[in-house]
Structure 1
Amino acid sequence: MALRPVQVNIKALDHPAVGRFWAEALGWHVQASGATTYVGPGGGLRWPHPVALGIDVVPVPEPRTAAKNRVHLDLATTSAAHQEELVARLLALGATPADVGQGEVPWTVLADPEGNEFCVLEPRDVYRDTGPIAAVVVDCADPRAMARFWGEATDWPVREVSDDHAVLRAAGGGGPYLELLRVPGQKTAPDRVHLDLLPYPGDDKEVEAARLRTLGARDLDLGQGDVPWTCLTDPEDHEFCVLALP
């Protein structure tokens, strides 16, 4: 049994506007807009997409706090010129420079129109086949323990692991990496960004959620009421959801 990451969930006050930003940022399309705004690669709505992680922008009534998100996206580039052009285009779309204490680094840290941080990376060979999203990056205290949890929770094998960094990716390659990065400090506020996972056909969502609890996940009550998904947190309190099969 395993779950597959299928989308990145971003909370927003103005979900259509944030959805449009991410569609333009990634060169994707707003494929569905109603109660939420779903953004994915072109070619018509394919959910779940076989390779890419879509972005589902979900409305919430409360504004983002000043606390840095502990989950963010890294965007891939293919050259120094591409990185420069992408940063300029994102700023024109409404992104703003962000200072998260990064100092002098070869990547550029920005925030989307509602303040969610993300990085535009310098070109790296490892991200040549990921598509526009190079990685979903999770700040944590113990990458080894987190790699054990997420490796067991999903069907993404652990590609590398150390005391400071762990990397997972879909077994077949393609699409983004999941990177667990050791960062000082503790989580102080709910994240505006999290992963949504989906069972495989024939698997049961409640059985999968129970399995995750044995691995260290905990139930999360956000006041969601009776919904078809299950809200949980991982062992370091990062929120995520287990969705129901369509």
Structure 2
Amino acid sequence: MGLRLVQVNVKARDDAALGRFWAQALGWGLSSEGPGVTNVEPVGFSWPDPAAVCVDLVAVPDPETVRYRLHLDLATTSEAHQAELVARLKELGARPADVGQGDVPWTVLADPEGNVFCVLEPREIYRDTGPIAAVVVDCADPRAMARFWGEAAAWTVHEVTDDHARLRSPQGVGPYLEFLRTTPGEKTVWNRIHLDLLPYRGDDQAAEVARLRALGATPADVGQGDVPWIVLADPEGNDFCVLAAPR
């Protein structure tokens, strides 16, 4: 039946502190499913729901500092809103970041642990996404990634070119999943930021994993040990997790 994209998983030195930053940045609430895990999600939200892709912060001893392939784009409604949001994020601990973007209308920042994200200028396409406009993945082949992720998560492909692909949940709500053509360096460590997918109620996790492997996913070992989720890598080597199906 496909899988639901339910959260962006971020490894953190201090999950609680980074969670507070992102909760204030997005205007969302905080919860925790256990020590070392902080969940950031809309207030009153009933997980899972396609209207929001949540952010989970998971503590690890020493997350590496490299340029990551995945980042968040935040939506704004006006130039004044963009300026106000950037100023507020800086007060919360974000700092300007230079990733070679040059003179662009969006603002590139890094959160308190160095994860880069963008505050976009107002764009009509993102007017109904909520605070997260898009989850953006750098890749070498947007067309191939759109094919894989469109089938993996049963998301609708809205746009695809050689340089960019845009997908969204079939319900037409929540953020977009976008693939941007870049020249990523060779992956030598596990990703600090990855996507978590959830089977639908009643679906079989093992069957979904077999389906993903038939689409081109491969098993990945990031030191996860004996856990209820299964770690895979997409055709370009980006790690992601298939969570256990809800009962």
Which TM-score tier does this pair reach, normalised by the shorter chain? over 0.9
Q: Which runs of 5+ in 2 are unaligned?
A: none
Q: Which runs of 5+ in 1 are unaligned?
A: none
- Alpha-carbon distance in structure 2 between the residues aligned to 1:50 and 1:2: 13
- Alpha-carbon distance in structure 2 between the residues aligned to 1:32 and 1:220: 26
Q: Matches of residues 53-72 of structure 1 in structure 2 within 5 Å?
A: 53-65=53-65, 67-72=66-71
Q: Does structure 1 conserve the Cα–Cα contact (< 8 Å) formed by 2:167 and 2:178?
A: yes
Structure 1 residue aligned with 2:88: 89
Q: Matches of residues 198-209 of structure 1 in structure 2 within 5 Å?
A: 198-209=198-209
CA shift digits 1:48-74 (9 cap, x unpaired): 134101111011112332x21100000
- Alpha-carbon distance in structure 1 between the residues aligned to 2:25 and 2:133: 13
Answer yes or no: is 1:21 the counterpart of 2:21.
yes
CA shift digits 1:12-64 (9 cap, x unpaired): 01000111110000000102253310010012x52213410111101111233
Structure 2 residue aligned with 1:112: 111
Instruction: Single out whichever of 31-40 and 196-205 deviates more from structure 2.
Output: 31-40
Answer yes or no: is 1:138 the counterpart of 2:161.
no
Structure 2 residue aligned with 1:180: 179
**Alignment-mate amino acid for residue 59 of structure 1:** A
Instruction: Single out whichever of 47-56 and 232-241 deviates more from structure 2.
Output: 47-56
Structure 2 residue aligned with 1:219: 219
Q: Does structure 2 conserve the Cα–Cα contact (< 8 Å) formed by 1:64 and 1:114?
A: no
Q: Secondary structure at the match of 1:109?
A: strand
Q: Does structure 1 conserve the Cα–Cα contact (< 8 Å) formed by 2:50 and 2:173?
A: no
Q: Structure 1 residues 223 and 190 mapped into 2: Cα distance closer, same or farther (>3 Å)?
A: closer
Taking every aligned residue pair, what percent have the same amino acid on both sides? 67
Q: Matches of residues 232-243 of structure 1 in structure 2 within 5 Å?
A: 232-243=232-243
**Alignment-mate amino acid for residue 245 of structure 2:** L
Residue 173 of structure 1, CA deviation: 1.0
Q: Does structure 2 conserve the Cα–Cα contact (< 8 Å) formed by 1:201 and 1:245?
A: yes
- Alpha-carbon distance in structure 1 between the residues aligned to 2:124 and 2:186: 32
CA shift digits 1:74-97 (9 cap, x unpaired): 000000000000000000101111
Q: Secondary structure at the match of 1:103?
A: coil
Q: Does structure 1 conserve the Cα–Cα contact (< 8 Å) formed by 2:50 and 2:169?
A: no
- Alpha-carbon distance in structure 1 between the residues aligned to 2:142 and 2:191: 18
Structure 2 residue aligned with 1:10: 10
Residue 226 of structure 1, CA deviation: 0.8
Q: Does structure 2 conserve the Cα–Cα contact (< 8 Å) formed by 1:77 and 1:132?
A: yes
- Alpha-carbon distance in structure 1 between the residues aligned to 2:100 and 2:191: 19
Structure 2 residue aligned with 1:37: 38
What is the TM-score normalised by the length of structure 1?
0.96
| CA RMSD after TM alignment | 1.1
Q: Secondary structure at the match of 1:145?
A: helix
**Alignment-mate amino acid for residue 232 of structure 1:** L
Q: Matches of residues 187-198 of structure 1 in structure 2 within 5 Å?
A: 187-188=186-187, 189-198=189-198
Moved over 6 A (4+): none
Answer yes or no: is 1:169 the counterpart of 2:161.
no
- Alpha-carbon distance in structure 1 between the residues aligned to 2:183 and 2:120: 22
Q: Secondary structure at the match of 1:223?
A: coil
